[in-house]
């Protein structure tokens, strides 16, 4: 089993993500510079957080038009796993991997803090190690994280159980007060139609070891590993 963490110019959570996969989860993980492309088989591709291309034009917009992105989309079309975290989520949405977009926070400020998330979907390759409606603690760090999409898209996401996570309070209540960035229906993790792509603003790699205050994020990676093992 092998994961790739794709590095765009300005990615800065690439090493943290590789560290968690390799050292904490024990999975061979290559750092792949975007210009080098996906040169071998990968079971999962992760687009890490950061500020690719200075967030010029729109966060993730430039990274989404690099040639490696076409390879990542092909990888997704083949049913293999793609996880976009923070800037990786913005990039993935710019590339059309899931509908909707992540845009400037309702209060246009960079927010870096712990938040609570309610796990909405526990059947996806990314969330099988959680319990339905479980409340987890994972940090966010972004200024362009407000998820928005048209009414029809939101309805479809809900009907098809494609919302992975929503911002909530520590008791699991979904409220405006628990919504740090103004995302529609507190949505902050969205799955593709086939469920093999997850784009999320919170940083699971920053909540994968006890010493960091939470291990709740690690189960995303563990879920992915279990999924790949089951389908090997």
Task: Indicate which residues carry an active-site annotation.
Answer: 86, 203, 205
Angle at 199 between CA 13 and CA 209, to 5 degrees: 45
Asked if 84 interacts with another protein (CB under 8 A), we say: no
Asked if 150 interacts with another protein (CB under 8 A), we say: yes
Q: Looking up tokens 């494609």, which residue turns up? A: 162
Closest to another protein by CB, 154 or 228: 154
Q: Which residue of 148, 174, 212, 226 would you call a contact of another protein, by CB under 8 A?
A: 148
Residues in the chain: 232
Smallest separation, CB 38 to another protein (Å): 22
What sections of the chain are H helices per DSSP?
A: 14-19, 67-77, 87-94, 151-159, 218-230
Question: Given the rule CB under 8 A, which of 103-111, 116-124, 158-166, 190-198 is the region that contacts another protein?
Answer: 103-111
Q: Which residue of 20, 45, 61, 200 would you call a contact of another protein, by CB under 8 A?
A: 61
Question: Given the rule CB under 8 A, which of 38-46, 68-76, 148-156, 218-226 is the region that contacts another protein?
Answer: 148-156
Closest to another protein by CB, 153 or 212: 153
Q: Which residue of 50, 125, 182, 195 would you call a contact of another protein, by CB under 8 A?
A: 182
The answer to whether 159 touches 124, Cβ cutoff 8 Å, is no
Closest to another protein by CB, 54 or 150: 150
The sign one gets for the Cα dihedral 217, 219, 222, 227 is negative
Q: Which residue of 49, 50, 92, 100 would you call a contact of another protein, by CB under 8 A?
A: 100
CA 83 to chain centre: 5
Instruction: Report 203-222 residues binding another protein (CB under 8 A).
Output: none
For another protein, how many residues bind (rule: CB under 8 A)? Answer: 19
What is the C-alpha to C-alpha distance for residues 142 and 133, in angstroms, rounded to an integer? 24
Smallest separation, CB 208 to another protein (Å): 31
Question: Given the rule CB under 8 A, which of 2-10, 96-104, 113-121, 189-197 is the region that contacts another protein?
Answer: 96-104
- Output DSSP code: residue 193: T
What is the C-alpha to C-alpha distance for residues 214 and 210, in angstroms, rounded to an integer? 5
CB proximity list for 48: less than 8 A, separation 6 or greater: 5, 6, 7, 11, 12, 13, 14, 16, 17, 85, 86, 87, 88, 205
Backbone angles phi, psi at 217, to 5 degrees: -75, -30
Asked if 57 interacts with another protein (CB under 8 A), we say: yes
Asked if 149 interacts with another protein (CB under 8 A), we say: yes
Which residues in this chain contact another protein in the complex, by CB under 8 A? 57-58, 61, 65, 94, 99-101, 103-108, 146, 148-150, 182
């Amino acid at each position: 089993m092998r994961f790739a963490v794709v590095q765009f110019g300005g990615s800065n959570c690439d090493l943290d993500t590789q560290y968690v996969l390799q050292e904490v989860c024990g999975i061979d993980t290559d750092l792949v510079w975007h210009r080098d492309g996906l040169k071998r088989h990968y079971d999962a591709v992760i687009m890490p957080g950061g500020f690719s291309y200075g967030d010029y034009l729109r966060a993730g917009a430039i990274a989404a038009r690099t040639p490696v992105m076409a390879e990542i989309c092909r990888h997704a079309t083949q049913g293999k796993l793609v996880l976009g975290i923070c800037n990786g989520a913005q990039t993935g949405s710019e590339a059309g991997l899931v509908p909707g977009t992540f845009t400037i926070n309702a209060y246009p400020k960079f927010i870096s803090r712990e938040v609570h998330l309610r796990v909405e979907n526990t059947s996806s390759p990314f969330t099988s190690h959680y319990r339905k409606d479980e409340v987890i603690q994972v940090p966010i760090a972004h200024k362009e994280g407000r998820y928005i999409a048209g009414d029809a898209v939101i309805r479809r996401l809900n009907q098809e159980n494609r919302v992975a996570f929503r911002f909530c309070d520590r008791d699991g209540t979904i409220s405006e007060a628990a919504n740090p960035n103004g995302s529609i229906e507190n949505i902050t993790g969205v799955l593709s139609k086939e469920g093999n792509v997850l784009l999320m603003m919170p940083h699971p790699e920053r909540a994968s070891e006890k010493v960091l205050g939470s291990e709740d994020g690690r189960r995303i990676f563990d879920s992915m590993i279990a999924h790949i093992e089951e389908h090997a």
